[in-house]
Structure 1
Amino acid sequence: MTPDMLFVFATLGITIALFVSDRIRMDLVALMVVVALALSGIITPAEAVAGFGEPVVIMIAALFVVGEALFRTGIAAAAGNWLLRMGGSSETRLLLFLLPVVALLSAFISSTGAVALLIPVVLSMARRSGMQPSQLLMPLAFAALIGGMLTLIGTPPNIIVSSQMRSAGLEPFGFFDFTPLGLAILIAGMGYLILVARKLLPERAQQLAENTAPGVAAISGRYALSRQLHKLMITPGSPLAQKTPAEAALRTEYDVTVIAISRSGGLLSSLVPVLSNTRMQYQDQDQDQLIVYADEARLEHLCETLKLKRMGFPAREISQLERRFGMAEVLLPPESPLCDRSIKEGHFRERYGLSVLGIRRDQAAMDTSFTETRLTPGDTLLLAGSWEQIRSLQGSRELVVLQTPAELEEIPTHGSRGPVALIILLAMLVCMTTGWLDNLSAILLAALAMILTGCVSLQESYRSLNATSLILIAGMLPLALAMERSGALAWVVEHLVSLVGDSSPLVLCASLFMLTSLLSQFISNTATTVLLAPIAITTAQLTGVNPEPVMMAVAIAASTAFATPIASPVNTLVLAPGNYRFADFARVGIPLQLLALALTLILTPLLFPF
């Protein structure tokens, strides 16, 4: 063993130890690897930093921009809402719908691309369902990797082994030759991920969530509000017809706050924010439905006096309402012109398009009279209205925004560009699946189109780049080159093959599977396959074994990059948003690797006899 080989093995061992210890951030460890390799002389300094210009790193950065555009235009939330409607609040049902979707997508486009596009969807789903992202993101990543096993173009290792067979004068694998084995692993893997893996996933992600902004319910709870949202329909003869809420004295007479008006059946597009000049309507076919915030005890008197009918409030409509309307907590500074005025005199609807729901004074919620309570410096107010109006408070000199709820981050800032973003996404997928453009060009064009069409701003694009993931991927890529350049990788392969070359075909397949899977945890599965494919086919021919099952085992093993966060860019992508540690991947991923190994050894000889 040469000194260069010893240095590379030592670097790899120290890197793994640092990753497992979790004492130093993984992106910092990756930068340490870059420096060590640059100083070693095994590869040049230019080669050590070349990972930052690798197509896979640029592609992932562009996919972050595409994913951010899908989030900002509401496409991600819409997809998450569909999955939530199908899966409900059950984590099992959600995964039953989510995992096949990402696997099918990964069968035809890059699994890295599929995961990058679905991360905003999953985060939105987790937010709305109350689940932790850690319960969904790792299963998402693993299902995407398994999805790559389904077709010839699903992942580069499949193409590499097929091309190697053609180069050896053999019949290459067809487009769907991988499907039977890949489908079996997908079904078994889904069962494992849904029934077993979620019990192994970390619970500490909840601690991360506690540091984020509170939700609407938490903020409103500090004001001791016993009120609830209700939907009331105007009926014939109601005195509210053609009046504004102020003219109808709903707040002063009945202590009821109208948040919104629903017209034409309560669809999202029909929700109207209630401003100072908004008039309630009654027509024979289209009666306004009022979304009000009121005490339950006052509703009977209100409905009887004003001829209103209580309506049901389905969860779907509540979800639509929450996407349009919310709350914020603001502070009244001493210099504000609102000081020493009542809520009515403050004309909050005229000034801000928002309604005051509650007041806190001296850190305690207080009983509030719309006409009598005088506002004083230091009061904190709970305001309700459309998210657009809440965002506009940020520039106000009369009020200081103390806290906006976490839900505000879920609200699209470029919702009107949703159809444009969807067209760009579909065009990107078509170009990638048909081969009209290479993956990098298609994704870069899509990212640029998203920015130029206003689906995402340039500032939002920069913020979307996950530096931890990009640095980790770029920093670890040179290690694969150093292992190849020093001969360390060839040394490992040659010694293992010499041990199993005279064994049975099943032992040969198992050994190559384990070697390929092991190496794929630390270096690119593409690089691993490039190195092992010629050795595997040569060994099979020399021992008189049909190369097809051996090459299939190598291809499937290359996609079992489950045990480390650096095994695949897919794993690295979910590392930060899932708040995972290095050991989490090993705990959940190794059993899945063993499951894939068992199915490969059982089914491969049946599909491709030795």
Structure 2
Amino acid sequence: MTLDQITILSILAATIVLFIWGSWRHDVVALASLLACVFVGLIPPSHAFDGFGHPAVVTVACVLILSRGLQSTGAMDAFAQRMIPKSGSTTLAIGAITAVGALMSSFMNNVGAMALLMPVASGLAEKHHLPPGKVLMPLSFGTILGGMTTLIGTPPNLIVSSFRASAGAGSYGMFDFTPVGLGVAIVGILFVCLIGWRLVPERTQAGAATFDTGTYLTEALVPEKSPVAGKTLWEIARMLEDEDAQVVGVVRDDGRVSPARPRHRVRVGDILVIEAEPESLAAAISHLGLKLEGEPAEAEEPDGPGEESKALAEGRPGTAKRDRGRRDESGGAGDGAGHQDGGGAKGESDGDDGDKLAGGESRKEGKKEREKERDKERGEDLRLRELVVMPDSDLVGRTIQFLRLPAHYEINLLALSRQGRRSVRRLRSTPLLAGDALLMMGTDDNLNTFASEKGCVPLAQRDIAIPNKEKAAIALVTMALAVAGAAFGLLPAAISFATCVLAYMALKVVSLRNVYESIDGSVIVLLGALIAVAGVMESSGAADLVSRWMLSAIAGGDPVIALVTLLVVTMTLSDFMNNAATAAVMCSIALSASAQLGVNPDSFLMAVAIGASCAFLTPVGHQNNTLILGPGGFHFGDYWRLGLPLEIMVVAVSVPLLLWVWPL
């Protein structure tokens, strides 16, 4: 073993450990791995970033933009709504939405497909009286299965294709993955819709009448004249017996959360941390006469105690913050006038000032009445909506206090649910995680803007929306032409889809601003960095070393056993680290193993593609699994109950198909 081989294997081992550990983002880990190779001399500095110009990276970026166009025009939303039956059995409903998710993810980003179908899944769960997880997990797994059926369905397929091209055999075509991938997807979807959804654990606590995300935690201020001021928590618990809610903590002047003790006496100015189901939250706060604690500036309540909570219960906005700002402004003007002192002409001055003040007060009263009327009209449009934080959201790792939602979006975070578990911490200082469910209040426009800009998905059934039918048609036709151009070999995939992106921009299917917002920078950095690192694996001979050990120690020189081993190892790694990273690491080993055995490298490369796309055991293996973690109320260990039999089935189906379609 040479020094270069020892070094690259050490860097690779550290990279895999950091991926599985998960404390650092995958793009940070990949970039650190690339720079480590540069610093130790394995990659010349002048070639460190060659991977970012790789066709696979360009194609992934283009597919992300095209997916945004299909989403924003409503084209795929309309398709999904028409394909899912309005009536029928539970098995038929789950099978239909899973199959539609698989079909959509074949030609668009599978996270985008999942985001589009989550509101539909909520409607199916409610209609069939199911816990939401019973529909969400099959949908997540279906979108993952669908991605393996085409070249652009998932980034691992593009990476596998790029490694084939680098080996001198040319890139794979658009539908070269279809014979094996489609067979695996069909069997997997049949298993999920006939048997698998019954294996998903039930995590709802209040029945399936709503899209249940478990209990919410919210903070509410005890204002003056509140009926709970001076009462003990035991007495408050008696008041909440009919509200399906409880006080789990109290915040006082020091800002710390104290556990709820029955003898603890509540004072004016205390903040109560309340745990409640979404549908009972408003009633509990209104019954106790509390004020929602959205921001520190809202501590005062000029409209009287309980007004904000009544607004929540009635679907109106709280006006305390707006009215206070206006009153402060008018008060300042009044003070300035009142302090004028004119000496000898004092009486005349006072009279003039009195007239001015009277006129000013009259104008201010009229202005205030008009503003209150506008506030009332605006309040009628306020909505409560549950949003889930997507894995690539800007919200991940940030706190509500940092985001300043009322100032920037005119909305408020009322409560937070995380995997259906209690976490008694200050709401505004809690860093958000992917999969968190947020209960938000605001107008439809403001909530939609926030969800779009910050990467959130609504959890309630939404109406089908096609903002522009002409653009939806353009998006579909242009995408079809791009797929045809790549499928028939008229253009390389990267060129074909880049041309489609240019058409989207020229025809304004996607705005120029949204073009760059559509690209997930973390995925681009991950691919660009690891392609270079994987190249070092091959050039240093480390891939040959690993493959020789695998063939001798595990496979015993048998190509079929080697194929199964490669598939299982890739699948296992993909359950704990990013699937694109798994594909980049394993492709070099696959090429080396096939060369040493003297067999068809396509069989081994396709095994990597299948294994990297099948992450069903954990919520961290794939972004879609992370996305359903909070809404389904799942725990980390819930995924294997359906995921393990599904992965066993994938191995049992894919190996014969690989040997038949891509014979050794």
> Which TM-score band (shorter chain)?
0.5 to 0.7
2:117 is matched with: 122
Deviation at 1:39, TM superposition (A): 1.3
1:483 is matched with: 537
What are the residue-to-residue correspondences of 1:459-478 with 2, within 5 Å?
A: 459-478=513-532
Say if 2:64 and 2:518, in contact at 8 Å, map to a contact too: yes
In the alignment, the residues of structure 2 paired with residue 328 and residue 437 of structure 1 have an alpha-carbon distance, to the nearest angstrom, of 56
Deviation at 1:143, TM superposition (A): 1.0
Q: Secondary structure at the match of 2:612?
A: coil
In the alignment, the residues of structure 2 paired with residue 488 and residue 41 of structure 1 have an alpha-carbon distance, to the nearest angstrom, of 15
1:555 is matched with: 606
Deviations 1:471-530 (A, max 9, x none): 333333222112112221110112233457766665455445556767886756488557
The answer to whether 1:186 aligns with 2:185 is yes
2:611 partner letter? T
1:460 partner letter? N
In the alignment, the residues of structure 1 paired with residue 142 and residue 611 of structure 2 have an alpha-carbon distance, to the nearest angstrom, of 14
Assess, with a 3 A threshold, how the Cα gap between structure 1 residues 414 and 373 changes in structure 2: closer, same or farther: closer
Structure 2 residue runs without a partner (length 5+): 126-131, 205-210, 219-277, 287-314, 327-368, 384-408, 413-441, 452-461
1:39 partner letter? F
In the alignment, the residues of structure 2 paired with residue 209 and residue 83 of structure 1 have an alpha-carbon distance, to the nearest angstrom, of 33
Say if 1:202 and 1:584, in contact at 8 Å, map to a contact too: no
**Residue 415 of structure 1: which of 458, 468, 471 is its match?**
468
2:70 is matched with: 70
Deviation at 1:604, TM superposition (A): 6.9
What are the residue-to-residue correspondences of 1:267-346 with 2, within 5 Å?
A: 333=322
**Residue 443 of structure 2: which of 394, 404, 423 is its match?**
404
Assess, with a 3 A threshold, how the Cα gap between structure 1 residues 600 and 466 changes in structure 2: closer, same or farther: closer
Deviation at 1:61, TM superposition (A): 2.0
2:23 is matched with: 23
In the alignment, the residues of structure 1 paired with residue 160 and residue 19 of structure 2 have an alpha-carbon distance, to the nearest angstrom, of 29
Q: Secondary structure at the match of 1:479?
A: helix
1:96 is matched with: 95
Say if 1:420 and 1:455, in contact at 8 Å, map to a contact too: yes
**Residue 493 of structure 1: which of 510, 533, 547 is its match?**
547
Assess, with a 3 A threshold, how the Cα gap between structure 1 residues 148 and 465 changes in structure 2: closer, same or farther: closer
2:41 partner letter? G
Deviation at 1:67, TM superposition (A): 1.7
Deviation at 1:447, TM superposition (A): 1.9
Say if 1:26 and 1:472, in contact at 8 Å, map to a contact too: yes
In the alignment, the residues of structure 2 paired with residue 75 and residue 529 of structure 1 have an alpha-carbon distance, to the nearest angstrom, of 35
Structure 1 residue runs without a partner (length 5+): 168-172, 225-326, 337-371, 387-398, 541-546
**TM-score, normalised to structure 2's length?**
0.51
In the alignment, the residues of structure 2 paired with residue 211 and residue 456 of structure 1 have an alpha-carbon distance, to the nearest angstrom, of 38
In the alignment, the residues of structure 1 paired with residue 371 and residue 573 of structure 2 have an alpha-carbon distance, to the nearest angstrom, of 71
In the alignment, the residues of structure 2 paired with residue 37 and residue 165 of structure 1 have an alpha-carbon distance, to the nearest angstrom, of 22
In the alignment, the residues of structure 1 paired with residue 104 and residue 19 of structure 2 have an alpha-carbon distance, to the nearest angstrom, of 31
Percent identity (aligned): 20
In the alignment, the residues of structure 1 paired with residue 512 and residue 50 of structure 2 have an alpha-carbon distance, to the nearest angstrom, of 26
Q: Secondary structure at the match of 1:496?
A: helix
What are the residue-to-residue correspondences of 1:172-571 with 2, within 5 Å?
A: 184-194=183-193, 195-196=195-196, 333=322, 375=372, 381-384=378-381, 403-405=442-444, 406=447, 414-416=467-469, 417-499=471-553, 506-507=560-561, 509-511=563-565, 513-514=567-568, 525=583, 528=586, 532=590, 535-536=593-594, 539=597, 552=603, 555-562=606-613
1:118 partner letter? A
Deviations 1:515-563 (A, max 9, x none): 67678867564885576457537636xxxxxx67x96466345422146
Q: Secondary structure at the match of 2:508?
A: coil
1:52 is matched with: 52
Deviations 1:309-345 (A, max 9, x none): xxxxxxxxxxxxxxxxxx9958595599xxxxxxxxx
Q: Secondary structure at the match of 1:61?
A: helix
Deviations 1:240-281 (A, max 9, x none): xxxxxxxxxxxxxxxxxxxxxxxxxxxxxxxxxxxxxxxxxx
In the alignment, the residues of structure 1 paired with residue 501 and residue 590 of structure 2 have an alpha-carbon distance, to the nearest angstrom, of 35
In the alignment, the residues of structure 2 paired with residue 407 and residue 494 of structure 1 have an alpha-carbon distance, to the nearest angstrom, of 54
1:144 partner letter? G
The answer to whether 1:6 aligns with 2:6 is yes
**TM-score, normalised to structure 1's length?**
0.55
1:536 partner letter? S
1:147 is matched with: 149
The answer to whether 1:42 aligns with 2:37 is no
2:518 partner letter? S
In the alignment, the residues of structure 2 paired with residue 329 and residue 28 of structure 1 have an alpha-carbon distance, to the nearest angstrom, of 42
Say if 2:148 and 2:181, in contact at 8 Å, map to a contact too: yes
Q: Secondary structure at the match of 1:147?
A: coil
Assess, with a 3 A threshold, how the Cα gap between structure 1 residues 126 and 28 changes in structure 2: closer, same or farther: farther
Assess, with a 3 A threshold, how the Cα gap between structure 1 residues 414 and 556 changes in structure 2: closer, same or farther: same
Assess, with a 3 A threshold, how the Cα gap between structure 1 residues 182 and 477 changes in structure 2: closer, same or farther: closer
1:147 partner letter? T
Deviations 1:347-382 (A, max 9, x none): xxxxxxxxxxxxxxxxxxxxxxxxx99947976843
Say if 2:474 and 2:509, in contact at 8 Å, map to a contact too: yes
Q: Secondary structure at the match of 1:455?
A: coil
In the alignment, the residues of structure 2 paired with residue 478 and residue 26 of structure 1 have an alpha-carbon distance, to the nearest angstrom, of 15
Deviations 1:157-206 (A, max 9, x none): 99899999999xxxxx9999987765553343224544447956997998
1:396 is matched with: none
Deviation at 1:53, TM superposition (A): 2.5
- RMSD after superposition: 5.8
In the alignment, the residues of structure 1 paired with residue 201 and residue 162 of structure 2 have an alpha-carbon distance, to the nearest angstrom, of 33
Deviations 1:73-129 (A, max 9, x none): 221321232244458895x545523444565678xxxx5746366345334534655
In the alignment, the residues of structure 1 paired with residue 604 and residue 119 of structure 2 have an alpha-carbon distance, to the nearest angstrom, of 37
1:595 partner letter? M
Q: Secondary structure at the match of 1:436?
A: coil
Assess, with a 3 A threshold, how the Cα gap between structure 1 residues 28 and 578 changes in structure 2: closer, same or farther: farther
In the alignment, the residues of structure 2 paired with residue 48 and residue 586 of structure 1 have an alpha-carbon distance, to the nearest angstrom, of 38
Assess, with a 3 A threshold, how the Cα gap between structure 1 residues 15 and 575 changes in structure 2: closer, same or farther: farther
Q: Secondary structure at the match of 1:560?
A: helix
